[in-house]
Amino acid sequence: MNSNIITKTVSYADLGRIQYAKAWSLQEDLFNETVQRKISNRNLSEADQQPTSHHLLLCEHNPVVTLGKNADLKNLLIPEQGTDNVEVFHTNRGGDVTFHGPGQLVGYPILDLDEYYTDISRYLRNLEETIIRTIAEYGIIGDRLPGATGVWLDPNDPLRARKICAMGIRCSRWVTMHGFALNVNTDLMFFNLIVPCGITDKAVTSMEKEVGEPLNFEEVKAHYLHHFSEVFNCKLEINE
């Protein structure tokens, strides 16, 4: 780590199990607050400008399918209005269609990339790196698939390539929202409700499936926080 880089402070909140709509609303509030602060600072002298804040939200969701801005409805295999057990949301993130549910670690970083680097590709690669390091704690070798986001296992083997973590973000005025969904102990049967990310020829997996037993979710979360703080060179400040 470069000691000349000033460590950022990121406010961290564990939302627990939360409805997707409520988490999205919270993201929007933090995102809009950050954007408005940046707009206001433009009209102030440097001495009077207020620093923007950075946030990381971790949570689980009840079963929900979300569609990105460019999603193809053909990849949604249940009614667009959802079912009794699974909600469906059209979102403002990038990407296609994905599933969130219990046993899945979902992360929403709301970062001002002007304070880091104004490079979306670099941001996504770093977000992938936090997952790759986390699953490595359990002997799972994560990798990237050229031309796709997320974290994959055996991406270069057409017969074995499988996704363990999906990603989709929104970035405006260099402020991020949305993020990643890491399958920890996720019931993979839910992915039969969609064509994950519109990819028909590759499977979906979970840490539980790869290791052969359910994992301690809180332990996985703790490993993730450690690696997030390393990759993004930040100090996590718990927000109760």
DSSP string of 215-234, one letter each residue: --HHHHHHHHHHHHHHHTTE
pTM summary value: 0.94
Predicted confidence band of residue 20 (pLDDT cuts 50, 70, 90): very high
pLDDT in tens, 201-228: 679 999 999 999 999 999 999 999 999 9
pLDDT in tens, 63-105: 999 999 888 889 888 999 989 999 999 999 988 899 999 999 9
Given this model, what pLDDT does residue 6 score?
65
Predicted confidence band of residue 1 (pLDDT cuts 50, 70, 90): very low
Q: 32-46, 52-66, 107-121, 161-175 — which is least confidently predicted?
A: 32-46
Predicted confidence band of residue 158 (pLDDT cuts 50, 70, 90): confident
Predicted confidence band of residue 236 (pLDDT cuts 50, 70, 90): very high
Tell me what the pLDDT averaged over the chain comes to.
92
For the chain, what percent of residues have pLDDT higher than 90? 78
Predicted confidence band of residue 195 (pLDDT cuts 50, 70, 90): confident
Cβ partners under 8 Å of residue 134, min gap 6: 182, 220, 223, 224, 227
Predicted confidence band of residue 141 (pLDDT cuts 50, 70, 90): very high
Q: Any alpha helices (H) in 111-216, and if so which ranges?
A: 120-136, 207-211
Q: Which residues are catalytic?
A: 197
Q: Is the pLDDT of residue 200 over 90?
A: no
DSSP code, position 112 = B
Which H or E element spans position 9?
Answer: strand 8-17
For the chain, what percent of residues have pLDDT higher than 70? 95
Given this model, what pLDDT does residue 5 score?
60
Residue pair 227/130 in contact (Cβ under 8 Å)? The answer is yes
Sign of CA dihedral 188, 192, 197, 202: positive
Q: Which among 65, 57, 59 has a CA at the least distance from the CA of 11?
A: 57
Predicted confidence band of residue 240 (pLDDT cuts 50, 70, 90): low
- Average of pLDDT values for 119-129? 97
Domains parsed from the chain with CATH numbers: 9-40+49-238 (3.30.930.10)
pLDDT in tens, 25-71: 999 999 999 999 999 988 887 777 888 999 999 999 999 999 998 88
Residue type for 180, please?
F
